[in-house]
Each structure stands twice: as C-alpha cells, then as structure tokens.
Structure 1
Amino acid sequence: MNAKRSMLKLRKKFIPSLLSVLTVIILLLVSAKYIYIPEFLDPPPAPTSQSFVKHNISCKAIYDMDPVEVGKSLIIRRKTVVEDKDERLIDFTGNCPVFRKIRGYDDLCVSEEEKIFPIAYSLVVHKNAWMVERLLRAVYSPNNVYCIHYDKKSSAQFVAAMEGLSSCLPNVFISSKLETVFYASISRLKADLNCLSDLLTSEVKWKYVINLCGQDFPLKSNMELVSELRGLKGSSMLETSRPSEHKKQRFLYRYELQDASFEYKKLPVKTQQAKSPPPHNIEMFIGNAYFVLSREFIQFMNSSAVVRDFLAWSEDTYSPDEHFWATLVRLPGVPGEVPRSQPDITDLMSKTRLVKWQYLEENLYPPCSGQHVRSVCIFGAAELHWLLNYGHWFANKFDPKVDPILLQCLEEKLEEKQKLFQKGTMLTCPKVILQPY
C-alpha cells in the first residue's frame, strides 16, 4: 500500500513536468519546420503579404452562385482589407529570382499557337502597385511584351515598385517618355501613344496591342485571347459610335486645364471659344479609351500626317482618348477599318471592356454586388459567373479593398482555363532569363 502511495506521489510530481518538457520540444520542432529556409534562397519577403492572402473559400461554389459560399464572401468582405504598401513590392522585387518563383512567372509555359502570335500591352497606371502586379501577372506570358507608363505625379514608392517589376521581367519595360496625366485631358491619350511608339521598336513582333489601366482585369486566359484575336483577321475591336449632341460639346468648344479638387489636381474646363472643324474633313465618332488594335494599324498611325494633324486638333478637347481611336478606325482605307456605313459599335458590343453603369443596372445587366464610384460598379464576388460568361475580354473596375474574393477567384479561374486550353498542345516552358531590355 505504501508503495502505491509513493508511485502516485511521483506521478503527480513528475508528469506535469514531463508534459511541459514535451510541449516545449514539440513547439521547437514546429518552429524549426516553419522557419527553415534553404541556404540557396534569401528569405522571401512577401509570402505573408496581404496582397497574396488566400481566403478559405470555394471559387467553384462562388462561380455556381452557391448562396452559402456567396454569403461567406460577403462576411470576408466586411472585414477591413489592408492592402500592402508599395514599399513591400519594392522589397519583394529586390530579389528577382525569389519574386519570379513565388509569383509563378518562372512556371509559365507557351503553346506553339501563342508563340507565333505575341500580344503587346500598354499599361497606363498611377497608384496601387500591388494591384498593378496582379494585373500584370494575370496577363503575363513570356512571349508577349509589356510597356508600363506611370504618371509623373505618382509617388516615389510607386515609381520604384514599377521599376522593380520591369527589372525582374525581361519583356516588361517602362515607357521612354512619361506624361503628367490629368483626368480627361490629352495627357491620358499621350501616355498610351508613348507606349505604342516604344512597342513598335520592340524586338517582339507582336500582332495586336491592348491598353489597360490599373483597375482592369482580364476575363480570358492568354490562350483564349490569342484564339479570339486571330479570329479578327486584322480588324480592330473597340467602341465607335456617332456622337450625341451632348457628346459633341466635348469637341465643338475649346477646353482649358484649370486647378481642380485634390483628387484630380487639374481638369479640362469648357470655354466659350468655338473650335474649327476637324482637319481633313474627318467625321467624328466617340467611344471609350480602350482599344484592341493590329500592329499594321499602329504602324499606319505612327507615320500618318492625317493622324498627326488630328492629334494636334484634339489637344484642347475634352477626354480626347474617347474620340481619337473611335474616329481613326473609321477613316477610309486604314488597316482594320470599321466602315462609316457600319452601325454603331457600343461598349456592350465591343469586347474590349465590360463596365457596369449604375443607371443601366437591372435594365442591361444585373445590379452591382460591390460598390459604386462615380456611377461605375466596382465588381463583387457575386458577379464572377456573369463576368466570365458575358463574352468580353477585360472588365473594369476591380479593387481588392472592396472585394478580395473576386480577384482571388478570377486568378484561379484564369489559371484553370489556360491549362485547359493548353492541354494536348506542344508546350515550351522557358525560364525567365534576365537581360536588359
């Protein structure tokens, strides 16, 4: 009996101590597992980045409009999403091999169809470096070429982040000429023109060029885009319509840049001075700033005196990027001409950009599930199925601070579609070799 009592006392005395020791050992082992970094790699600075957080949600269920999963996305959305500062991307791109490995740039393969049909991109951006990187990654292919134009007003941190992206990816470069961009002014158009001029000198003999802004996102994989662009057979894809009397005011009178609110700095303001008619008896059409244009069209535009005169005439108009491209593609004889006799091509007919306007919701399309900014919808996760099935190639606007789930699911779906369309084709998987552009 005394022996039993002694054993019980010993157990009470030593078992808690033994458990404590075992707990410490387990914690040390777990810690060692997660802090171990291979010697040949520097510590990756961004896997814990808020921009790459993967939320525990089923994108398939979101796509299928499962009410439980859509409701779950709304709960996640209500939490404050803190986007990483641009400085984090500067640090991340400071080690190019790690950046490319973690973000998957090194893992991308190219089919023969993609290889013989490279695409050029003009990205006109000014803020939110992480969103720009996600957009770039979503449209990236090793055989394409990308020009980034950042606003000269952009922060030093944003500029450094863009320079970091271009330093890590050999087919990404910064525009050789930069503009101070003001809303609805000629500077926005010139930013694209600067990139287009640079892209023509690229060694990559691209077939089509697409322009993007920082809140755009693709709805098609690169493989799908190549297939659709080949189907154009040299024609253009953009909005081009006859202007209403209201829209005519944008180019019937001169506009002058004047100081404006903090957000815009300067805005074009209408004067009472009437403008002369467009040069060369050009008939005016209006559209939006977005285009998909052939290499032949850009080559024509770059050497045409008519285009130069029209650009000079457009200097003091309101939002010239919304009539410049729409008018030029209607010029008789231009490569990829849209004949003037052809009916209007609206934004819902042109596949360049899918946008939801608040005043047209529930008439032309379902209501916005995200938020509205200046009557434009910032999309939410509940629109995933609609976005991917409407037929457009790109959409606007997206913001991870408004809905992080939608971007996560779009990225996942685009990867799935790229792999599906590449299946059964001969693939080349080039590792990124850094060479100065």
Structure 2
Amino acid sequence: MRRLRGACHTGARMNARRFMLNLRRRFLPSLLSALTLIVLLLVCIKYNYLPESLPVEQGTTSQQFVKHNISCKAIYDMDPVEVGKSLVIRRERTVEDKDESLISFTGNCPAFMKIRGYDNLCVSDEEKDFPIAYSLVVHKNAWMVERLLRAVYSPNNIYCIHYDQKSSAEFISAMEGLAGCLPNVFISSKRETVHYASISRLKADLNCLSDLLISEVKWKYVINLCGQDFPLKSNMELVSELKELKGSNMLETSRPSELKKQRFLFHHELQDVSFEYKKLPVKTQQPKSPPPYDIKIFVGNAYFVLSREFVQFMNSSVVVREILAWSEDTYSPDEHFWATVVRLPGVPGEVSSSEPDITDLMSKTRLVKWQYLEENLYPPCSGQHVRSVCIFGAAELRWLLNYGHWFANKLDPKVDPILIQCLEEKLEEKQKLFQEGTRLTCPKG
C-alpha cells in the first residue's frame, strides 16, 4: 500500500509538472506579447496625449529651439517607455533648419545671445584662471555648429572657426554671423579648401592654432573639434581634468600596422573621384623618401588636446615644419602628424618613442564607435552607421556620459534629436553642480 501510495504521489507530481509546463508553453509567449503591447501602448498614449514639443523661447520658430517633451532623466535611466518614445520621435520626419535662418537670427546679436543663453553664463575663479582654446574645423550644418559652440561656450575661453572655402555661401555667412555676435569667437585668418584625407585638413587646424597663439587670451590648452562632435563634460569638468594633465598632451599615438604604413611609404596624388568626396589622395607606385632625420612615424587620429607650450614649440620648430612638408603627399596626414610630433625628443609633454601605444580608448579626446568593434569593446550602436562609424542614439546617453571620454563623435540631429537635447540638458546640470560652492562672476542684470 505504501508503495502504491508513493507511486500515486509521484504520478500526481509528474502530472502537475506536465500541466505547468504546458501552461507555460501555451501562455508565456502570449504574456510576453501582452507586456510588449502594453509598453508600446503606454508609449503611444504618453506620446499622443502630451504636446509633441515645447518651444524654448516664445516667438522662436526654429526647429533648433524646439524641446521635445521627454524626460532625459528617464532616458538616462533606460526607462523602456521613455526610450520607446524617443524612437517614435526619431522616426518623425523633421524639417531641417536652413543655414539662412541662423544668418537671420545672428542679425540681431542681443536677441540671439539672450535667447541662446550666451549672455547669462557665470564663470568660476577656477575657470577664469584656466581658459581653454578651441579649433573648430567645419563645413556644413550651421545650426549643429552653433549647438556645439553653445555646448562648449564659456566667456573666458577663445574659439577659432575654420570653415571650408568650398562651403556654401549661406554656411559661410552663418559662421561669420556667429563670430560677429560673440566677442571671443573669430574666423581663422587663413582658410583652406579642405579635401578629405589630404594635407588641407591638417592645415586647417594649424591655421587656427597660429591665430590662437597670438590672441589676447592666454589659454592653457587647445582642443580641436569638427561639426559632428559634442562634449560629454561641462567646462568646469574639463578645466579640472586638464589640470590633471600637468602639462602633458592627450592624443592617440600608436605604432602603425603594415596597412597603415602604405599611407606614408608611397606618394599620393589628389585626384578627382566619382563619389561624395569629389577629390581624394590616391596612392601611386612611387615610393616616398624616408621621413626627415629618419624620424619614426606613429599613427593616431585627427583629434588632440595640446598644451600651449607644445603648440608654441611646434610653431617655431624647424623639425616640425620639415615633417609637415614631408607629409604633403601622404594619405590622411593628420592621422600621423600629431601622433609623431608628440613623440619627438624634447617636445613639451613628450611621449617617449619607447613608451607603449596610446589607443583611442586610452586617450579621452574622442569617443567613437566602430561597427566592427561593437559587442567586443562596446555595446551596439543605437543610432545609425555611416562608413562603419556609429552616429549615436538616445539609448547610448548613459554609456556616453559614464565612459569617461570628453567628447563624442558622431552626433546628428537628423538621426537622433533627443540625444543632443539630453546631452545639452545634462551638461547644463553638471556645470551648475560643479560651480556650486565656488566664487562666481556673473553678468550684471
């Protein structure tokens, strides 16, 4: 009887397990689907019953000053409803503001500065004693350049804008308008017709550096930016971290692969090409002469954080001028010039040629996601890929702000306007937070 009773209990338990298993198989997918539908429904309800956008300043019709009604805190916390809402907003076709509207806006400088908040920024004593210089090499999307400038702007800093000579007349006028309204923003005195991967891109930065050296602002460090960069640190944070460099420079500098060596072992000629760049340095079979003084060539990227002393040395160095001349017919010389010069013996903030490679993830100058390294070095891109580079999406807000880098590349309001809006909001919050308890100089009135 006991055996029979035990067998009955065992059979009952097995039947119960089978029943629960069948129940899970039948209803769990439906339950998950229902939960998914509920989340999507919440997104739709929240999105449809709240105003799509809120104007920052009444009377301003520009898309650039329209704030979407979304919680950046929730985006940062990866709230599924708010992230879902950002995806809905992203899919909406927005009419991009034309450069002409910025020309018109900067036609009234007091109104422009007031609406965009340039005229009410407070500066701490620490910031005042540590001005930063910027070299902005840009060629299109005037409004995005303005948003970048506003995000890094501080009244005690100095900003050089180099626009491409082949940029549209409207873009050039918009840049001139920015420089005309902001006293510490100027246009580079010498401008290049910039061609992708050619020496002209490097010369554009060098032109700004020369102008910055003779400016009245005695800046401590210079940072170069392009039009699709965006800061991840507030000005107060940058000042604090730049001080920690103690005169050293920050940039990528690594030993080249055999493939990368082809860029400077052979003569390249600027030729017409049939795709978007129009002109491109094309490799020939003609070997190049060795670099001057048999200097070892290192490679990196175009982005740098350089001390004033380094730039002064570079500006007066015969060796640096010879490296520049030798680089004229190489491919993408800005990706070996800075990386090599910083390794020269005796330069301020020298990185010894015997020291290990400094990769782009070790240098904090720019946070870039390469498609072929996603899942291995960093999470997948939530935006779009262009030529294997991620244009970031709002779902990466938390990752971007916490990774530790100072700037991100690339951002585009046409891909994800929410990310830019949230970065602007977070940077403003961080600036105020870091300024708390410090002595501030604020505009009167």
- The answer, yes or no, to whether TM exceeds 0.5 is yes
Other-structure match for 2:108: 95
| Distance across 1 between alignment mates of 2:194 and 2:390 | 23
1:25-104, aligned counterparts within 5 Å?
Answer: 47-104=60-117
| Distance across 2 between alignment mates of 1:261 and 1:148 | 29
| Distance across 1 between alignment mates of 2:330 and 2:59 | 44
Q: Is the 8 A contact 1:46 1:92 kept in 2?
A: no
Shift of 1:123: 0.1
Q: Is the 8 A contact 1:124 1:191 kept in 2?
A: yes
Residue identity in the other structure for 2:373: L
Residue identity in the other structure for 2:329: D
Other-structure match for 2:157: 144
Matched, 1:286 2:299: yes
Of all paired residues, the percent bearing the same amino acid is 86
| Distance across 2 between alignment mates of 1:312 and 1:144 | 31
Q: Is the 8 A contact 1:300 1:335 kept in 2?
A: yes
Residue identity in the other structure for 1:339: S
Matched, 1:220 2:233: yes
Q: Which has the higher contact order (CA 8 A, sep 6+)?
A: 1
1:279-318, aligned counterparts within 5 Å?
Answer: 279-318=292-331
Matching residue within 323, 328, 337 for 2:341: 328
Matched, 1:202 2:219: no
- SS in structure 2 of the partner of residue 315 of structure 1: helix
- SS in structure 2 of the partner of residue 81 of structure 1: coil
Matched, 1:192 2:199: no
Q: Is the 8 A contact 1:208 1:295 kept in 2?
A: yes
Unaligned regions of 5+ residues in structure 2, if any? 1-56
Matching residue within 184, 189, 195 for 1:176: 189
Other-structure match for 1:344: 357
Matched, 1:239 2:252: yes
Q: Is the 8 A contact 1:147 1:172 kept in 2?
A: yes
Residue identity in the other structure for 1:196: L
| Distance across 2 between alignment mates of 1:295 and 1:327 | 18
Shift of 1:261: 3.0
- SS in structure 2 of the partner of residue 225 of structure 1: helix
Structure 1 residues 229-288: Cα deviation after superposition (integer angstroms, max 9, x where no partner): 000000000000000000000000000000013521100000000001100121110000
Other-structure match for 2:286: 273
Consecutive aligned runs of 4 or more in structure 1 exceeding 3 Å deviation: none
Matched, 1:362 2:362: no
Shift of 1:45: 10
| Distance across 2 between alignment mates of 1:58 and 1:372 | 26
Unaligned regions of 5+ residues in structure 1, if any? 1-43, 433-437
Residue identity in the other structure for 2:85: K
Other-structure match for 1:32: none
1:338-417, aligned counterparts within 5 Å?
Answer: 338-417=351-430
Shift of 1:430: 3.5
Residue identity in the other structure for 1:333: G
TM-score by length of 1: 0.88
Once superposed, what is the RMSD of the aligned Cα atoms? 1.2
The aligned length equals 389
- SS in structure 1 of the partner of residue 354 of structure 2: coil
Other-structure match for 2:35: none
Residue identity in the other structure for 2:302: A
Q: Is the 8 A contact 1:353 1:395 kept in 2?
A: yes
| Distance across 2 between alignment mates of 1:221 and 1:103 | 17
Q: Which moved more, 1:221-230 or 1:337-346?
A: 337-346
| Distance across 2 between alignment mates of 1:190 and 1:53 | 37
